[in-house]
Each structure stands twice: as C-alpha cells, then as structure tokens.
C-alpha cells in the first residue's frame, strides 16, 4: 500500500492520520464516495489497538490486549459485516478472589460460592439490599458499588482492581468507571449482554485490510513528517488531541499498559478468556487468546496486563478535572475548521470499538454532506 502516484499539484481531498477503526472507517466511507484519500500511520501496521497477528508459535494474538467485539447497534454490525465474516463469541471472565475463580460480573453463583450460601435470585436481591450502604449523592466509582452491593464485595472485587488499573482509589474516579460493570441476581455469566457478540472470523487485521482495500496507506510515518509535502484539502486526525496542539495546556492524563505475552506448551491455560486478579499481583488480568479467537492449536498464548502511568496512551482517565482540561483542547479543536478530530484519543472518550465505528460513520456523513453543499472540484 503506497501513496497513489499522481500529479504533485493535485491535492488529496483527505489526509487521514491513524489507521485504527476511526481512520479506516472514514477512509473507506470517503473513498467510496469518490474522494481522494491518503492514510498515514505511525505504527508498522494498520488496525490501531485492535491489530492482531500470529506470534512465533503460530497463535493469533492481540498485541495491544484482548479486543472483544460487542454492540447493540444493528447499523454498526451490518456495516462491519461488509468487511468480515463473524464467529459467534460470548466473553466470560472469572475473578480470582479468596482462593476461588468466581464469575465476574458478580452474579448469583459468585455470591453463593464466596459466602458458602445457596441463595435464590430473589434472596440475592435481599442480600445486596441488606449490605448496600446509603450514599446521598452517587458521584464516584466507590459510591456506585457500595450503594448497590455493600463494602465487602466492593473490597473483594473493585477496590484493588480499580487501584491497579487507574493508579487511583475508586473514590477519586468518576462513577462511570465502575458503572460499566453490572451486578446480576441471575446466573448469567456472560461479560457483555449486547445483542451482537462476535469476533471477526479471520481476525481484525484482515477486517482492516478489507476496509482499506485500494486506499493508499503510509505506514511507519508520523503525519508531521509528511504534512508539509503532501497537499490535502482537509486533515482527519485520530491521534491524541493534546499531542496535536503540542500539549499547550499541559498533557491530558492517559493510563498506559505493559503487556507481557507468553506461550505455554498446553492446549488450555485457564477456564475462560479472561481471569481478573483484583487483589494479588501487579497485573490486573490474564487473557488467553484461543478462547476468544476459537483457534485450535496444541499450544496456547496468554497476555498479562500491567497498568502504568507512562507509555502509549490507552485509556483517557475519567476524572472531572481531566474532562475540564479536555474541554479546553476541544475549544481549540473547534477553531481548526481545516481539521476533523475523531476517535478515542482525539475526542478523549473511553469508547469501545463499536462506538468509534459509529462516531466515524456519523463524521463521514457530516463531511460528505458538506461536500455536497460545496463540492470538491
Ligand atoms: C487494552 C485495551 C483493550 C480494549 N478492549 C476492547 C474490547 O474488548 N472491546 C472494545 O470494543 N474496545 C476495546 N478497546 C478499545 C478500542 O481499542 C478502541 O475503541 C479503538 O481501538 C479506538 O480506535 P481509534 O481509531 O479511535 O484509535 P486507535 O486504535 O488508537 O488508532 C489511532 C491510530 O492513530 C495512530 N497515530 C497516533 N498519532 C499519530 C501520528 N502522529 N501520526 C501517525 N499516526 C498516528 C496510532 O498509531 C493508532 O494506530 C480496548 C482498548 C485497550 C487499550
């Protein structure tokens, strides 16, 4: 994939920074509408953080951590289905607590196993209610959990995990963080309950190659290196928004991860795709790819995730002061009518893949309707 040869004078309609979901979906949509598009990607591959590849043992792994596709959006699922077949997959997680591997999100079996009980769903509701602590105003991640299921389960499942993941106590984080993880009174042990839960049958990288078919992509290239020499009418930026503006208001806090990949000479390493370790070890969780991808192989590969402050920006840190700092960058971004900011890092949002796809599709429609009003000549 190399840039189209063409007369130097003819500019690209869109120069797109980043070949993750945001950049690749926009490239596909704009190119399909007849625009001239060039994608520039700093890494050696397409796919952004969803990139997958075969390791030395021949096991398909996700180098940037396990990526499970799930969505309630029929539109997003139908759109991506044009570029991949699917393998149905429902993710399951166990948490290592008090010497047992119990279902996470907390459900009926979790509580019965941990406390040696034999409650029914109805009795579990009463159990939670009897332990819940009234909180006047639910503001933080601690409030969300303690007000629903009480302090003991909060300590066992959330406090240590959140501390490791974010480097902050749940009492210092927005309610939205732990609100993402439900609590159930049923025996449903699926991690997600979305309508569509499936993995790209031939992997994410193949999906991206299909999205980007016929579109020139410059890999191993920071857009800043080529900006002065590649004529374009409009820039689409999917990298970190603070980096775009040279951190002029100071760096936006992101949480990073160190991934430790291992291959083991056994067919299966653990019972589920992911096992969480809320209270022990420096890592938060271990994921085994073969559960997720469905690959059959005599060996198996797993990844340990060690959260850290420094390194590649992975997660925007959801705290009010960070949202405030982002709003200043957002105001600056609005003044740049020659640039569109889209994606997880460019809009500083804790978005899943499907949400980024939806955001990119909406952005493409907006850009194309603008072109209809003032066609590119
Ligand atoms: C550990 C982890 C696990 C996750 N698990 C899931 C999951 O299970 N399910 C789910 O739905 N979502 C998951 N996500 C979220 C998912 O990764 C994101 O929603 C999605 O990848 C965001 O796509 P994007 O295009 O916005 O950003 P990215 O995928 O980050 O792509 C941005 C691209 O821009 C490039 N770039 C940045 N700056 C420059 C520059 N200056 N020049 C050139 N290129 C540049 C980057 O190299 C990158 O490839 C997970 C995220 C992480 C970190």
Closest ligand 1 atom to Cα of 67: 8
* CATH class of domain segment(s) 12-90+196-249+315-373: alpha beta
Cβ atoms 140, 130 nearer than 8 A: no
- What whole-number distance in Å separates Cα of residue 146 and Cα of residue 358? 33
Residues 223-258 pLDDT 10s: 999 999 999 999 999 999 999 999 999 999 999 999
- Give the distance from CA 318 to its chain's centroid: 14
CA of 5 to the centre of ligand 1 (A): 29
Instruction: Judge if the beta carbon of residue 18 lies within 6 A of ligand 1.
Output: yes
- What whole-number distance in Å separates Cα of residue 311 and Cα of residue 179? 26
- 91 or 178, which is more confident? 91
Residue closest to 67 by CA, chosen among 352, 360, 345:
352
pTM for the whole structure: 0.94
Cβ atoms 270, 286 nearer than 8 A: yes
3-state secondary structure 148-217: HHCHHHHHHHHHHHHHHHHCCCHHHCECHHHHCCCCCCCCCCECCCCCEEEEECCCHHHHHHHHCCCCCE
Radius of gyration of the chain (CA): 22
Q: Residues of CATH 3.40.50.720 domain(s) within the chain?
A: 12-90+196-249+315-373
- What whole-number distance in Å separates Cα of residue 339 and Cα of residue 137? 40
Residues 32-89 pLDDT 10s: 999 999 999 999 999 999 999 999 999 999 999 999 999 999 999 999 999 999 999 9
Read off the pLDDT of each residue in 166-175 and give the average, rounded to a whole number.
90
> Is 373 strand, coil or helix?
helix
Torsion over CA of 20, 353, 247 and 319, rounded to 10 degrees? -170
Instruction: Judge if the beta carbon of residue 352 lies within 6 A of ligand 1.
Output: yes
- The strand pair at 254-264 and 300-308 is best described as antiparallel
Query: Mean pLDDT over all residues of the chain?
Result: 94
pLDDT (0 to 100) of residue 376: 52
Q: Assign residue 332 a region (left: φ > 0; alpha: ψ between -120 and 50; beta: otherwise).
A: alpha
Instruction: Judge if the beta carbon of residue 357 lies within 6 A of ligand 1.
Output: no
Q: What is the best residue among 16, 166, 238, 311 to mutate for testing ligand 1's pocket, by most ligand atoms within 8 Å of CB? A: 238
Closest ligand 1 atom to Cα of 257: 1
3-state secondary structure 102-121: EEECCCHHHHHHHHCCCCCH
Closest ligand 1 atom to Cα of 221: 43
Q: What is the best residue among 27, 49, 343 to mutate for testing ligand 1's pocket, by most ligand atoms within 8 Å of CB? A: 49
- The strand pair at 53-54 and 274-276 is best described as unpaired
Sheet with 12-17: strands ordered across: 217-218, 37-40, 12-17, 232-237, 339-341
Cβ atoms 191, 105 nearer than 8 A: yes
């Amino acid at each position: 994939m190399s840039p189209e040869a063409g007369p130097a004078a003819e500019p690209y309609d869109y120069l797109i920074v980043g070949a993750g979901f945001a950049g690749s979906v926009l490239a596909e949509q704009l190119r399909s509408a007849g625009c001239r598009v060039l994608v520039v990607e700093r890494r050696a591959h397409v796919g952004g953080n969803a990139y997958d590849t075969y390791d030395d043992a021949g096991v398909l792994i996700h180098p940037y951590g396990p990526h499970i596709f799930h969505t309630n959006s029929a539109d997003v699922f139908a759109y991506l289905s044009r570029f991949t077949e699917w393998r149905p997959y429902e993710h399951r997680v166990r948490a290592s607590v008090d010497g047992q591997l119990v279902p996470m999100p907390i459900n009926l079996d979790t509580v019965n196993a941990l406390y040696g009980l034999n409650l029914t769903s109805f009795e579990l509701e009463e159990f939670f209610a009897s332990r819940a602590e009234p909180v006047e105003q639910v503001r933080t991640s601690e409030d969300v959990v303690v007000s629903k299921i009480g302090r003991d389960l909060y300590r066992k499942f959330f406090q240590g995990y959140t501390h490791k993941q974010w480097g902050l106590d749940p009492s210092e984080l927005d309610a939205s963080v732990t609100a993402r993880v439900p609590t159930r009174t049923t025996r449903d042990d699926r991690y997600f309950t979305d309508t569509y839960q499936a993995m790209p049958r031939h992997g994410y990288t193949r999906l991206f190659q299909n999205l980007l078919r016929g579109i020139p992509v410059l890999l191993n290239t920071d857009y800043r290196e080529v900006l002065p020499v590649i004529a374009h009418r409009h820039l689409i930026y999917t990298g970190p928004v603070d980096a775009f503006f040279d951190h002029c208001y100071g760096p936006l806090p992101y949480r990073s991860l160190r991934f430790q990949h291992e291959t083991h000479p056994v067919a299966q390493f653990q019972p589920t795709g992911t096992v969480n370790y809320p209270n022990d070890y420096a890592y938060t969780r271990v994921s085994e790819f073969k559960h997720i991808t469905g690959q059959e192989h005599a060996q198996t590969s797993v990844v340990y995730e060690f959260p850290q402050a420094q390194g590649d920006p992975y997660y925007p840190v959801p705290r009010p002061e960070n949202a405030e700092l982002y709003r200043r960058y957002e105001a600056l971004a609005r003044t740049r009518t020659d640039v569109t900011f889209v994606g997880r890092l460019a809009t500083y949002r804790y978005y899943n893949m499907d949400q980024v796809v939806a955001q990119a599709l909406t952005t493409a429609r907006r850009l194309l309707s603008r072109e209809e009003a003032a066609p590119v000549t």
